[in-house]
Structure 1
Amino acid sequence: MQLKTLIKPLLLATILANSCHAIAQTKVIYNANGYTPLYKGEVQQFSTLVIKNGKVINLGGDALKNSFPNAKLIDAHGNTLLPGLIDAHGHVIGLGDNLSQLDVRGTKSVDDVTSKLKVFAKDKQGWIVGRGWNQELWSDTRFPSAKDLDKIVNDRPVVLSRVDSHAIWVNSKALELAGITATTEAPEGGEIIKDEFGNPTGIFVDKAEALITKHMPAPSKEDISNSLDAAGKHLLSLGITSTHDAGIDKTTWQVYKERGDLGNLPLRIVAMLSGASPDLEEMLKAGRYHDKNDFMEIRSVKVYADGALGSRGAALIEEYADRSGHHGLMLETQQKLESIFTQSFKSGFSANTHAIGDKANKVVLDAYQNVFKKTGGILLRNRIEHAQIVKPDDIPRFKALKIIPSMQPVHATSDMHMAEQRLTDKQLSGAYAWQTFLKQGSVVAAGSDYPVELANPFDGLYSAITRMDHNKLPENGWRASEVLNREDALRAFTLGGAYAAHQEFKVGSLEKGKWADFILIDKDYFKVPVEEIYSTHVLQTWVAGKLKYKKEVNDK
């Protein structure tokens, strides 16, 4: 009896010792073509990276590995090693949902969309949900209608989000279930597109979307958790080790904290509470959240000021060049913005505000300025998400007010043709102005806005460096004075995102004491011809010194 009693604790002690040894074992990645931006300094090259307890303890030349004779050696086979990339603006659960929903991204016509719908609808019951249509890619750039969808599905509701999520296209069954008629009025900050007879066409812009979406079944915690895992797997395969999630509801907030406490998140997430959530006050009162290994951080609020350029919802000072008398949509008044900012700052949360049009950016800057004077909060690293169309004389205000421009380089190359139609040259004078922001000393945090855009960060790096599409057009780049060099682009996708999350001493570069988040890729980012950057493939992704993704031989 005494022997059995003794064996159990001895066995447990042995297991724990072995487990601790495994955790503490030093790993040496050698034979790497390594680059890392430095928090204070330029890019450092190295061939050997030393890791212990999930953190960087040293990096240097080939001889460094000889200093660790008992370490586990991992040959990088000469591949390029970079810090893990940070996407400073995405929608994690939306991405995970998209992987199981109807994907109509890149479709060239209404018929193209309905052909995909016909195939998808065969195996689906209940609400049919999809995303990705963009009428600007069609020969007929007018908004589509419910009747187009009715030809394929008329017995179940269909809801298809525009690529930017700022408009939805629904069928007549969805209109019927939501009780939408000619007399239905759009809420302030939204628009119901109607025909010449005043009947709803099936297009709902910005806040009017809720007239439909509130009738859709809410996802369960299990649904959200599954979408999180699906998105995490996809992001890791692209070399993203940390992502900022721009606007989460209460259920997602609960799932994130539960998964953070359990320590089983697939990658690092910096989540923003949705400022539009009816549960915002409750979430703010619960306080900021972070787990012990920096996988989950919740300390900011996502606020929504206007719509998007593609759906003509971005709020402009002067009218749209292609829609006379139309100035877009402010989703909140300046007074309401100031109220949300005040509420956030008093709870210790920063405010990250979506603003695309020049009017929205100006109003948001005014609101920040007023609240800083009354309440404080200027040091919370508040952000403007997108900052796409900004009056040139408002750009210096970002620096003066310590506002971080959180920008998505791929938006410029996706939007450039459409933006030239929507806006005058005067309105474009401060558009997608990454270089101007950097020159004045602003920290640019780069992202993709997935699933609005594809999540691949190498698309974003290519766009930042060239301002050209994948056909190298326009020659020399669109409004090329705003291009970034390769170092600044990489910094925006690493240390820029880390700084915006108050994590510049934890992630974003491979410096001593930081988490060992890194990737191995198949091209030399700094030397490969620029047109090859977007076709870079990730071979391995490591988070906290653990291999989280490895490209299989047959992976595309």
Structure 2
Amino acid sequence: MRNALRAAVTLLVGLSAAQAETPADFVLRNGKVYAADPARSIRSAFAVRGNTIAAVGDDEAMKPLIGPQTRVVDLGGKFVMPGLIDAHSHPVIGAVNAAKCSLAGVKPTLQEITPVIRKCLAERPGGPDAWLEVVQLYNYGFDASAKDIDTVEATRPLAIVGNDGHTMWMNTRGLALAGITAKTPDPQGGRILRDATGAPTGVLTDAALIGPSKLLPIPTTAEMADLLEKTIKGMNATGLTAVTDAALTPVEFAVFEKLYREGRLKVRVRGAHFIEDLSDDSDAAVAKIVSATRSETLDPAWLRADSVKVFADGVLEFPAQTAAVLKPYLDANGKPTATIGDLYFEPKPFNSLITKLDKAGLTVHVHAIGDRAVRASLDAFAAARAANGARDNRHQIAHLQLVDPADFARFAELGVIANVQFEWGKRDASNVGPLEPYLGPERYRYLYPYGSLRAAGALVAAGSDWDISPYDPFIAMEVGATRRDRGKDAQTLNIEERLSVADMLAGYTINAAAAMRMDDIVGSIEPGKRADFVILDRDPLAIDPSTLRNTKVLATYVDGKVVHEQ
């Protein structure tokens, strides 16, 4: 009896006397409402007033909120959940790339990519200084030098970017225009691959892409805004209502700001400003970073950039092997080499920088792939906590392809969020040939250890890293639950690291909202929060997980307004 009374009082708190006197704008009832609250409650109805959820409960509890003008929606048993949130994405880059010469779906061989690139060259004529940027090369196992790329095109400069976002191939003309020679030093956080004589081969990784990228043609802000608006519509159609742009530059922020000021921004955005120089921990450098994250004229519920992005290392795959690992990579025959990858910062100044950014109240969002990079990042957060005490800055490490088991528990201990990409946790061309033999079975067993991190108490937030991977959350959740792709030849990757659908729903809702520092307004269906929610054609918790990607989003609401409807 006492528990029943407490439940009744709790429901009444969600529906105050003042609320009862004011009808809701609309009420959704007769559904299965997954609230994503701490109890992971399932309700049948909720009410919306303006842009805010007014009450959540059963159908009977909503009756006092139904007035003459209230729109009542009978859900017919359909599943409703909070709007999905992508905690690591690159919306502007992805939108712009969609309009470029693309090798998506093309077999990554010189023979197969040649006609596609030549067709793009013909469609985009230009002289010997007119660059052509080619994107979405599925670069795993692709091996080509500048001279090889010259057989595709030798007169005009070419820059071919891999779909990992970390690798670029250039022809000889491109290297010349970029000023890359044998005397060009590797930049901090990047590498220029070289032959035995020291001459550049035409392959660049990570920060080495920055210089050439500044030479490539870019659309105007207005053109990028139009492309981004189209992308956001696609995101809304998959249930996305908020995203983190995980490597923001002033150019990209201006694109988001244009959509915001014109009333065309239909997702909430939190940006992480990209920091190139990790060696400068001076007060002046930190003050400049902090200044770049402030924008007093914008509504922080829609668009803000109070976060910073740093790269701790590169990628694991052979031949780049720029991800920092604790033990040396193996050769193709399983023998240890001298290669341990590249840590893109010196720990002492990096720890100082992170400590100062933490003290300033910024979230630090780290790209870390290898287990040495993960450990060094955790060490930096530990140094910040030792200096500043526990602060609610929601620091996070993204990707976590390889984590030493000794570090699993440190995420929860330090309050560091595991920002993961469920769709990557499968055996495919990216991690079999160019990776498995070079790690060995002991390390490969823990590839994408999302289940182990969750079991160790880490808060797991979901991101796509689009346009490297699809932004559709239901594709990602299917892979996360099955640890395999579809198709007759698909193989399972480390099934022990799978996650429950409930955990992944949390990863795309309340946990991702926490990573964005927006869980006070979105991420769950609770009274007082913004009315961001989606209506699905099925219950993800009740279906075969191997069919999750078949889920259809019937409607998406942001701030109480429909932004997508089938």
Place the TM-score, normalised by the shorter chain, in its bin.
Answer: 0.7 to 0.9
Contact 2:108–2:142 (Cα < 8 Å) also in 1: no
Greater shift after overlay, 285-294 or 377-386?
285-294
Aligned counterparts of 1:518 and 1:422: Cα–Cα separation in 2:
44
1:130 aligned to 2:130?
no
* CA offset digits 1:497-525 (Å, max 9, x no partner): 01112222211111111111112233331
Contact 2:24–2:67 (Cα < 8 Å) also in 1: no
* CA offset digits 1:241-291 (Å, max 9, x no partner): 111110111233344456545654221111111122799753512554574
Match in the other structure for 1:392 = 405
Q: What's the offset of the Cα at 1:88?
A: 0.6
Greater shift after overlay, 158-167 or 145-154?
145-154
What SS is found at the alignment partner of 1:135? coil
What SS is found at the alignment partner of 2:118? helix
* CA offset digits 1:95-135 (Å, max 9, x no partner): 11121112223332322222322222222243222322233
Contact 1:523–1:536 (Cα < 8 Å) also in 2: yes
Match in the other structure for 1:444 = 460
Aligned counterparts of 1:78 and 1:416: Cα–Cα separation in 2:
41
Aligned counterparts of 1:168 and 1:56: Cα–Cα separation in 2:
47
1:527 aligned to 2:527?
no
What SS is found at the alignment partner of 2:425? helix
Greater shift after overlay, 483-492 or 253-262?
253-262
Q: What's the offset of the Cα at 1:330?
A: 1.6
Aligned match for 1:318, one of 305, 327, 350: 327
1:441-480 correspondence runs (5 A): 441-471=457-487, 477-480=492-495
Match in the other structure for 1:21 = none
Aligned match for 2:396, one of 380, 383, 401: 383
CA RMSD of aligned residues (A): 2.7
Match in the other structure for 1:42 = 40
* CA offset digits 1:378-402 (Å, max 9, x no partner): 4311111112211111121112211
Aligned counterparts of 1:511 and 1:58: Cα–Cα separation in 2:
7
Query: Partner letter of residue 173 of structure 2?
Result: K
1:146-225 correspondence runs (5 A): 146-196=146-196, 198-217=198-217, 220-225=220-225
Aligned counterparts of 1:451 and 1:133: Cα–Cα separation in 2:
12
What SS is found at the alignment partner of 1:380? coil
1:230 aligned to 2:233?
no
1:543 aligned to 2:550?
no
Q: What's the offset of the Cα at 1:175?
A: 1.2
Greater shift after overlay, 331-340 or 403-412?
331-340
Match in the other structure for 2:17 = none
Contact 2:101–2:117 (Cα < 8 Å) also in 1: yes
Alignment CA distance shift 1:304-1:30 (3 Å): same
Match in the other structure for 2:94 = 95
Contact 1:404–1:443 (Cα < 8 Å) also in 2: yes
What SS is found at the alignment partner of 2:316? coil
Contact 1:249–1:277 (Cα < 8 Å) also in 2: no
Contact 2:133–2:159 (Cα < 8 Å) also in 1: yes
Alignment CA distance shift 1:505-1:203 (3 Å): same
Query: Partner letter of residue 321 of structure 1?
Result: L
Match in the other structure for 2:242 = 242
Alignment CA distance shift 1:444-1:176 (3 Å): same
Q: What's the offset of the Cα at 1:550?
A: 2.4
* CA offset digits 1:210-258 (Å, max 9, x no partner): 3422323455433443343233222112211111110111233344456
Q: What's the offset of the Cα at 1:485?
A: 1.0
Match in the other structure for 2:496 = 481
1:494 aligned to 2:500?
no
Match in the other structure for 1:306 = 313
Percent identical? 28
Query: Partner letter of residue 465 of structure 1?
Result: A
Contact 1:519–1:539 (Cα < 8 Å) also in 2: yes
Q: What's the offset of the Cα at 1:86?
A: 0.7
Aligned counterparts of 1:251 and 1:478: Cα–Cα separation in 2:
38
Greater shift after overlay, 371-380 or 160-169?
371-380
* CA offset digits 1:61-97 (Å, max 9, x no partner): 4445644143113344554322211111111111111
Aligned counterparts of 1:36 and 1:113: Cα–Cα separation in 2:
47
Contact 1:243–1:270 (Cα < 8 Å) also in 2: yes
TM-score of the superposition, structure 2-length normalised? 0.85
Match in the other structure for 2:11 = none
Aligned counterparts of 2:355 and 2:172: Cα–Cα separation in 1:
42
Aligned match for 1:296, one of 303, 308, 327: 303
Greater shift after overlay, 231-240 or 58-67?
58-67
Contact 1:114–1:148 (Cα < 8 Å) also in 2: no
Aligned counterparts of 1:258 and 1:346: Cα–Cα separation in 2:
31
Aligned match for 2:525, one of 488, 499, 510: 510
Match in the other structure for 1:434 = 450
* CA offset digits 1:453-510 (Å, max 9, x no partner): 11111111112111111137766x4212221111111111111101112222211111
Q: How many residues align?
A: 522
Structure 1 residue runs without a partner (length 5+): 1-23, 552-556
Q: What's the offset of the Cα at 1:191?
A: 2.1
Contact 1:391–1:429 (Cα < 8 Å) also in 2: no
Match in the other structure for 2:343 = 330
Aligned counterparts of 1:81 and 1:380: Cα–Cα separation in 2:
30
Aligned match for 1:357, one of 370, 375, 383: 370
Contact 1:90–1:449 (Cα < 8 Å) also in 2: yes
What SS is found at the alignment partner of 2:242? strand
Match in the other structure for 1:274 = 274
What SS is found at the alignment partner of 1:448? coil
Greater shift after overlay, 354-363 or 500-509?
500-509
Contact 1:345–1:376 (Cα < 8 Å) also in 2: no
Query: Partner letter of residue 239 of structure 1?
Result: G
Q: What's the offset of the Cα at 1:406?
A: 0.8
Aligned counterparts of 1:483 and 1:376: Cα–Cα separation in 2:
34
1:52 aligned to 2:65?
no
Aligned counterparts of 1:545 and 1:359: Cα–Cα separation in 2:
45
Contact 1:99–1:230 (Cα < 8 Å) also in 2: no
Q: What's the offset of the Cα at 1:37?
A: 1.9
Q: What's the offset of the Cα at 1:189?
A: 3.2
Alignment CA distance shift 1:188-1:500 (3 Å): closer
TM-score of the superposition, structure 1-length normalised? 0.86
